[in-house]
Amino acid sequence: MRFLLAALVLLPASGFAQTTLTLTVSGNPVAKNASGCADRVAGNWLGSGLTGACNSLQIWVTASTTCTDAPSATASPPDVVVQTVQSGALVAGTTTGTFSFAFNTMPSFTSNACGTDVDFTNYLCASVTSTGATGSCDGTLTKASSVSIRYDNLPPPPPAVSVIPLDSKLSVGLAATGTGTDLTDVQFFNVQFAVAPSGGGTPDWIGAGGDISSSNASVTINNLVNGTTYLVRGFSKDEAGNLSDPSDPVSAEPVQTFGFWSNYIDDGGQDSGGCTAAGGASSGLALAALAVLALLWRRG
């Protein structure tokens, strides 16, 4: 009788073991444009409690916005299975593994050739079923949280550019424009400036600041000439690497400003500034004096 009770307790306990499944991909979130079509998407899966698995662990990509219980061959477009791990391997203790697939094999590419100017998102899914209370394969279905994989070949709108003239400098502020994902997609801005050509020539654009994070969207262009008119334009770059058209150029002219030191000089100040050799020697003497004082102090 006692053995029967123990068996009743232990069997369900093994069948109901808590199972979890996690998917991760390199470079998450994955977003590519046409230049990344031939890339491979790589990742790994991590499971726990898989010794109760009774069917294969499957990893697939779907064009649907939600992951079903298993990959569907009848979905439109059909789901694409990228990895199958047999239940025997899971029961034997395999709890992690890697997978990879070509980006351009995702389901939505069946109706959109790579290079098309579209923006779509497919989802990476995974699931496994555990042995149920009766010992048959009717237990809990465990699904991983989906991972989005995006193809975006649509450039974002150009940014709004504002320029504040400073002394020999221009401070450039940038902001994403548009609506919805146009605003949230932008990851970086680029800035170019040029001396305004006289007589309507073509500006000789120079890059400034490299990729400027959209979370701190400003850059200062230094070493300019006060009184010269400069043109400044900006570009938006989204998470897939698409670069917008340039914004309309904004013209600005650095101006001389007067700070405390300028005012001092203008008011007749005769200090030459800087740390002179005499000043350095004086500082050294002061430090030596302090050291002597400290020594006397310790002795006291």
Partner 1 sequence: MSRALLVATLAVGLPAFAQGEPPPKPPPLPNTTIIELKLGFYQPKTGSAPGMTEDPYVQTFGNSAMLLGELEVDRSFWRGYGYLGIGFSIAYAEKYAKATLADGSPSAEATGLMVFPIQVMAVYRYDVLATRYHIPFVPYIEAGLVIEPWWTRKGGSVEVVNGKTGSGVKWGLGSTIGLALQMDFLDPKYAREAREDSGIYHFYLFGEFNVNWVNNFGGNGLNLSSNFWTFGLAFEF
Which parts of 191-230 interact with partner 1 (CB under 8 A)?
220
Question: What's the closest the beta carbon of residue 267 comes to partner 1, in angstroms?
Answer: 4
Q: Which is nearer to partner 1, 78 or 173 (CB)?
A: 173
Q: Which stretch binds partner 1 (CB under 8 A): 114-122, 148-156, 204-212, 286-294?
A: 286-294
Contact between 257 and partner 1 by CB under 8 A: the answer reads yes
Q: Which of 82, 79, 53, 47 is nearest to 66 (CA)?
A: 79
Kindly state whether residue 281 participates in binding partner 1, applying the rule CB under 8 A: no
Instruction: Tell me if 259 contacts partner 1 by CB under 8 A.
Output: yes
Residue 133 is encoded by which pair of tokens? 């209370």
Residue 195: helix, strand or coil by DSSP? strand
* Cβ neighbourhood burial of 45 (10 Å; 0-12, 13-18, 19+): buried
Give 87's contacts (C-beta < 8 A, 6+ positions apart). 53, 54, 55, 56, 57, 128
Choice between 96 and 263, CB closer to partner 1: 263
Q: Which two tokens stand for residue 82?
A: 């990228």
Are the C-beta atoms of residues 51 and 19 closer than 8 Å to each other? Answer: no
Among 80-88, 115-123, 178-186, 280-288, the segment contacting partner 1 (CB under 8 A): 280-288
Nearer to partner 1, 121 or 226 (CB): 226
Does 3 engage in binding with partner 1 (CB under 8 A)? no
- CB 71, CB 62: distance < 8 Å: yes
Encoded tokens for 174: 């940038």
Query: Which tokens in the block code for residue 292?
Result: 């002597």
The kind and range of the H/E element at 289 are: helix 277-299
Q: Between 210 and 227, name the residue whose CB sits nearer to partner 1.
A: 227
CA 48 to chain centre: 29
Question: Does 263 sit near partner 1 (CB under 8 A)?
Answer: yes
The reply on whether position 295 binds partner 1 by CB under 8 A is no
Which residue's CB is nearer to partner 1, number 93 or number 227?
A: 227
> Out of 279, 288, 291, 295, which residue is the one contacting partner 1 (CB under 8 A)?
279
Assess 65 for contact with partner 1 (CB under 8 A).
Answer: no
Closer residue to partner 1 in complex, CB, 42/286: 286
Q: Which of 164, 206, 291, 295 binds partner 1 (CB under 8 A)?
A: 164
Cβ-Cβ contacts under 8 Å for 106 (sequence gap 6 or more): 61, 63, 80, 122, 149, 151
Owner of token pair 């008011």 = 267
- Least distance from partner 1 to the Cβ atom of residue 175, Å: 18
Q: What is the contact surface with partner 1 in residues (CB under 8 A)? A: 164-167, 169, 171, 220, 255-276, 279, 282-283, 286, 289-290, 293, 297, 300
